[in-house]
A and B are shown apart, each in its own frame.
Chain A
Amino acid sequence: MRGGLAAALVVAGLLLLNALFTGAVAPAFALPPYLLQVLCLAGINVTLAVSLNLINGFTGQFSIGHAGFMAIGAYSAAYFTVTFGEAVRAALGFLPAFARDGAVLLVALAIGAFLASIAGFIVGVPSLRLRGDYLAIVTLGFGEIIGVLILNIDAVGGARGYSGIPKLANFFWIYLFAALTILVVYRVVHSSFGRTLVAIREDEVAAEAMGVHTTRAKVISFVVSSALAGIAGGLFAHYLMYVNVRSFTFLKSFEIIIMIVIGGLGSISGSVLGAILYISLTEGLREFAQYRMVLFSLLLVILMIVRPQGILGHKEFVTFLTKRRRSIGAAPGTPGNA
């Protein structure tokens, strides 16, 4: 029952932090609204980055359409809340207000995740046949098409964007799902199934020759990853209370890729680190206004040249630290590997 205890602790801790940051405990502890918002967006980015890493980092399939799944999650979850939220709330009249809000949000996120995962399945299917660059292009195309389709649905505002979404998500929910995403991806990766994913990344032909259901594994990783992106989208919509297709173009997908590449593909803690670094850098460089994106893209190119495997490489943060120490401690003249 250690797992149950840990979960309870995480929930309690997040609730406490949430209360602190919003100033519910004592106004002195409250974070400035701007900082709190940055923190919350960072949490959503963690979810996006860790989930994309499942496809790009662990399965070795190159997807650049993650924002599309996020968009589906955002719009469908928001649509549910706007259309049926009141009815659900009324039906749950016997519950206290925060529980009612939570229930509506959870159902909305579940719908967002489900629809996004269906889209993930549809995108995953061509991945049976395509590899490398070609898959990248298809995912890019799907992402853009999703955007165009949403643009043409009048019920969700079309080009004007979708406004009037109740603010149901907050620090607590965002970080709860970030933690959940990390847990899900961690467990997938560290299971026998995760082994097959990494085998596919390393050598798909050999994996198939070892009897791995490569197709099935790839599709599952797409479905899981896009469901999580859908949740991130739902949280995004219910936090900002407004969404626009323009937030989900391939530039957003690029952003997520940059996060996981900075941190190191195939490293969960690397994705977390990358997401946080990305947000801190882009927000931190805000002073330099128009220079910040120039500087940022330059940093990215330099990182690729100097350390293409990202900051942590394939390693997790803990092993990164320990391995480093060991290699420093190794005596000079130790025979290297050819």
Chain B
Amino acid sequence: MALLQLSRVTMRFGGLYAVNELDLSIDAGHLYGLIGPNGAGKTTVFNVITGVYTPTSGDIRFDGEAIAGERCGRITRRGIARTFQNIRLFGEMTVLDNVKVAFDCRQATTLGTAMLRTAAHRREEERVALESLELLKIFKLDHLAGEKAKNLPYGNQRRLEIARAMATAPRVLLLDEPAAGMNPQESIELMDLIRWIRDRFRMAILLVEHNMRVVMGICETVHVLDYGSTIAIGPPAQIQRDPKVIEAYLGGA
């Protein structure tokens, strides 16, 4: 059984079907690409999976359990993390604290222990700090740990978003246009990094991306959406030749 399974998921806003009868299955250790023209419903798919929206109908199962309609935070704690298309970092907080916040969702500390500064709480804090720095190192952000997130250049902010999502220890990672705004060199480094994460942590990664070099370069399966419905699924080589995909992108003239 798939790790994450969407069955006939529909998300309707008034008369608009942003996502229509979508089936999607995601297995551990695989890299998926979700592509489609603007307004195809890609981000809505992310919002439905992560609980920002409750789907109008359909079933979403994570590890066999139904999660549709659960709160966003609950779904994250189950093991699905995401990044945002329009970067949403905690701007006034330091880079390190951005990651620590995400780590906290796995911690058992309560306000009581935090207030009393118990030994257990201090150890926990030290461990969180250490692991957060470790994670920042992977993303080459450790030297910026004390910097405010809002002061980071664009590419670093994108990477910090991924690092922050990783800190929640997800089994499924959803990346919303991770390469947006990056130059070719940065995109290539990002591709390597994403592949490395996948191999190292054996997690499933689903990414929405407009940069076809990134998508075709690293995804094993590409899922093409148009008007909220699937128009093609398959390996990149096959997708690139699919007439329906070409038509969706170039417009049926």
Contacts and interface: CB of A to CB of B under 8 A. Distances in A.
Query: Do A and B share a direct contact in the complex (Cβ within 8 angstroms)?
Result: yes
A286 interface: no
A184 B115 contact: yes
Interface in A190-226: 191-196, 198-199, 201-203, 205-214, 220, 224
B19 to A, nearest CB: 19
A212 B104 contact: yes
A188 interface: yes
Interface in B98-128: 98, 100-102, 104-107, 109-111, 114-115, 117, 121, 124-125, 128
A192 B102 contact: no
Contacts of B77: 211
A338 interface: yes
Contacts of B107: 192
B93 interface: yes
Contact of B73 (A188, A198, A201, A211): A211
Contacts, number: 105
Given A192-B125, A337-B151, A211 B102 contact: yes
B84 to A, nearest CB: 7
The secondary structure that dominates the A interface is: helix
Interface of A: 184, 187-188, 191-196, 198-199, 201-203, 205-214, 220, 224, 266, 314, 337-338
B48 interface: no
Interface of B: 50, 52, 71-73, 76-77, 81-82, 84, 88-93, 97-98, 100-102, 104-107, 109-111, 114-115, 117, 121, 124-125, 128, 151, 153, 164-165, 167-168
Given A206-B84, A210-B76, A193 B101 contact: no
Given A184-B115, A192-B100, A211 B91 contact: no
B129 to A, nearest CB: 10
Contacts of B117: 187
Contacts of B168: 210-211
